[in-house]
Amino acid sequence: MSKIETGGDNPLHARPISLEEAIDCWGPDLSNWPDIALVRRAREALLANRSFRAHRDLAVADAQRLKATAAALDQRIADRGSLGRIEAGVLRLAQPKPVHWYRRIAAVAAVMVVAAMLGSAVEFASAPGTNAPSVQIVQLDPLMFGPADF
Amino acid sequence: MRYRLVVGGAVGTIVESSGEKGRAASLARMDDSGSEAAIRADQALMRAIADGEEDAFARLIRAEAPRLTRFVAAILSDISEAEEIVQETLLRLWKNAERWEPNARVGTYLHRIAYRLSIDRLRRRRPHVDIDDFDDLLEDDSLSPERRLVRIEDVRLVHEALDRLPDRQRAAIVLAHFQELPQAEAAAVMAIGEHAYESLLARARRRLRQLLAGQGEEDGEEGTGL
């Protein structure tokens, strides 16, 4: 198959590439190709070019075999309990991080605010409840009331 | 494999360091708000981990460990070693969480660390095929015994072929077909530009096809490839 020049202006792929090379670069699924012009040519070639069709079919088959192999590997990892061991091992080995000074200050400030709020609330709640005898203080103005009034 | 673009600014930063600024800039305009939301979620999670919240860290482990383990196991062909590498990777994230910058998804960042650790491990030893117990796999009751045997044999063949690929070609195949990462992310994991990743992946696919077709012995031209 002849080389197709995509042109130097194309930012996606500025080098010559054949349709077979495009399949090797971007995979057999044409919807994932970044070059629209090349996709159009590939669609035409799939209908007209037997050797290109065979190349693409082989790429599809290889991709499926790789997918099956990946699934088999996943199953094998799960069967061996690797993920549980990894999580337990990492959490065991992960050292607790030291608390930063600004977090300490924030914690102390938060404790003080909460304590102050609690104290105010208690004071506010308990003040009307006390049954202590009330004492009324009256201050008399000496300009209005003379010694005789006392 | 999906050819999807990751958040523009983030990927732009990654690819820029790989010397593909112009292309990254043009791709960056094709943004994806879903990815932005995901990166924001990652940021919040990483902030919690940086603050020492073990629950958040456990959540991240449960979310990322399965994919990471598959990735490393496929690269190393050894699940026990993969467990060690994944543990080391996650511990590094825990220790360095405060320095994490949202240039990429957390998953990409973890893949990058795991990839480097795996390559270091491979350099210390020759790869081997650890596929002894594949017979236990694929216990799909809907399959006839003959079909099951064929499938087990096929998985074994694919693993053998993968194991015979050069390390970087195997990584490219695993990132594309096992992890289904978009090209930008896969290139970032391997710390190469997207053009370089495309070329590497194309070579890897051709080589794998030859190996699966039983032609690997005759054509050794890419045996020491990238």
Lowest model confidence (mean pLDDT) among A29-33, B91-95, B150-154: B150-154
- Residue A145 lies inside a defined structural domain of this protein: no
Asked if residues B165 and B203 have their Cβ atoms less than 8 Å apart, the reply is no
Residue B173 — very low, low, confident or very high, per pLDDT cuts 50/70/90? Answer: very high
Mutate to test the interface with B, among A31, A62, A101 (most CBs of B within 10 A): A62
**Beta carbons within 8 Å of A113's beta carbon, 6+ residues apart:** none
Nearest-angstrom CA–CA distance, B24 and A12: 9
Q: Cβ contact (<8 Å) for B70 and A25?
A: no
Q: Which residue has the higher pLDDT, B126 or A103?
A: A103
- Terminal CA-CA length for chain A: 126
Instruction: Determine the 3-state secondary structure of B188 from DSSP.
Output: helix
Q: Cβ contact (<8 Å) for B79 and A99?
A: no
Which of the 8 DSSP states describes residue B136?
G
Lowest model confidence (mean pLDDT) among A42-46, A129-133, B168-172: A129-133
Q: Which residue has the higher pLDDT, B137 or B105?
A: B105
CB nearest to A70's CB, from B26, B178, B203: B178
C-alpha distances out from residue B16 to A14, B136, B140, B176, B183, Å = 17, 46, 46, 22, 15
Which amino acid is present at B46? Answer: M
Task: Name the packing angle between helices B106-124 and B79-96 (round to 10°).
Answer: 130
- Residue A137 lies inside a defined structural domain of this protein: no
**Beta carbons within 8 Å of B76's beta carbon, 6+ residues apart:** B82, B85, B118, B121, B122, B127
Lookup: tokens for B203: 């070579």
Domain boundaries, chain B: 8-128+182-193
Q: How far is B2 from chain A (nearest CA, A)?
A: 6
Q: Cβ contact (<8 Å) for B51 and A67?
A: no
Mutate to test the interface with A, among B148, B177, B179, B183 (most CBs of A within 10 A): B177
- Residue A138 lies inside a defined structural domain of this protein: no
**Beta carbons within 8 Å of A59's beta carbon, 6+ residues apart:** A23, A24, A27, A28, B205, B209
> What's chain B's Rg over C-alpha atoms?
19
- Residue A71 lies inside a defined structural domain of this protein: yes
User: Complex ipTM above 0.95?
Assistant: no
Segment A95-148, tens digit of pLDDT: 777 667 777 888 899 999 999 999 988 888 876 655 666 778 877 777 777 777
- Residue A106 lies inside a defined structural domain of this protein: no
Q: Within 13 Å, how many C-alpha atoms sit on residue B199's CB side?
A: 12
**Per-chain mean pLDDT for chain B:** 77
Cβ neighbourhood burial of B173 (10 Å; 0-12, 13-18, 19+): buried
- Residue A69 lies inside a defined structural domain of this protein: yes
**Beta carbons within 8 Å of B65's beta carbon, 6+ residues apart:** A83, A86, A87, B86, B90
pTM equals 0.67
- The number of distinct structural domains making up chain A is 1
Tell the residue number behind the tokens 């112009």, with chain if given. B22
Q: Structural domain of residue A5, as residue ranges?
A: 1-81
- CATH topology for B8-128+182-193? Rna Polymerase Sigma Factor; Chain: A (1.10.1740)
Nearest-angstrom CA–CA distance, B61 and A88: 10
pLDDT given at position A109 = 92
Q: Cβ contact (<8 Å) for B87 and A86?
A: yes
